[in-house]
Amino acid sequence: MNNEVKKTIISANEMDFTCRTCGLDQKGELVIFLHGFPQSSIIWENIMKKLADKGYRYLAPNQRGYSEGARPIRMENYTTRKLASDVVALADAVGEKGKFHLIGHDWGGGVGWAVVTLHSERIQSWTAMSTPHSAAFEWAVANDPEQQKQSRYIFEYLTPDLPEELLIKDDHARLREIWDGFESKNIDDFLDIFSDKEACTSILNWYRALMLVKPSEQNPEILFGPIYTPTCYIWGNHDFALGRVGVEKGHEYMKGYYKFVELDGAGHWLMENNEQECIKEIIELIENNPETK
């Protein structure tokens, strides 16, 4: 099997997404990977190479705001509902009109929970990494003092302009602190995105839209409820951003096959520091839930 990861442009939702792909010329089931903040689709390169001989088709987009050709102005264009619609549109764009497997980390996990909620008929299996079920996380932010402390940084991103300046300041010192210990090629890829102030604004608009754009006819509220899709949730119990209260609350929503994997001593950056454990769980869920013709 060809394990070459290609970087290409895929058009979806009238935008052009920079994507990493592998094996799209194969006939296997489609697997889509969603990255988080402040990263890019490069975090999935290693897993795509290692899984290439499984015969699946792999697609990892730089999501809305991260792709140069997918940066609409105004924070209203970055609601979770619209981010979720991009995922389904990308699947359609590569010829998959049926079900696909979905994996998401951090913000990619938040988008993934929305995709599974809004488009459950399209999802064959769902692996969430770090980010718990969205309703459980919202409950934890409202009720758990520890999660409130962990989520305080979100409010720093809501004001205009200044957060962008802070991300770029001193040669991206704040971001480089987050990326400490990451592969240098990954950091270089992230910097290609975050060196552009327009990109920073678009990316921070994910947070602004989440917190500031109220439900409306144009942006109906997403009603996060029970999940029946086969799901694996992977969480590091030393995660600095996502605490146990929201994690355990999330179990209540899982009504279908569900596997919870708690990685003892692991933090937030699971693909960087716990890649082998994550690959094992991801492929196990995919292989145990094949598409039925």
Q: What residues in the chain have per-residue pLDDT under 70? A: 1, 293
Return the CATH number of the domain spanning residue range 6-288. 3.40.50.1820
How high is the pLDDT of residue 218? 87
Amino acid, res. 106: D
How high is the pLDDT of residue 3? 78
- Measured in whole angstroms, the distance separating CA 160 from the mean position of its chain's CA atoms is 24
Going edge to edge, which strands form the sheet with 6-12? 6-12, 15-22, 57-61, 30-34, 100-105, 123-129, 231-236, 258-263
How high is the pLDDT of residue 1? 59
How high is the pLDDT of residue 293? 57
Distance CA 49, CA 5 (A): 7
Tell me the percentage of the chain whose pLDDT exceeds 90.
Answer: 94
How high is the pLDDT of residue 70? 98
Q: DSSP per residue over 37-86, as a string?
A: TT--GGGGHHHHHHHGGG--EEEEE--TTTSTB---SSGGGG-HHHHHHH
How high is the pLDDT of residue 19? 98
How high is the pLDDT of residue 9? 98
How high is the pLDDT of residue 51? 86
User: Is the overall model pTM greater than 0.75, yes or no?
Assistant: yes
Separation in Å, CA 103 to CA 165, 168, 223: 31, 29, 21
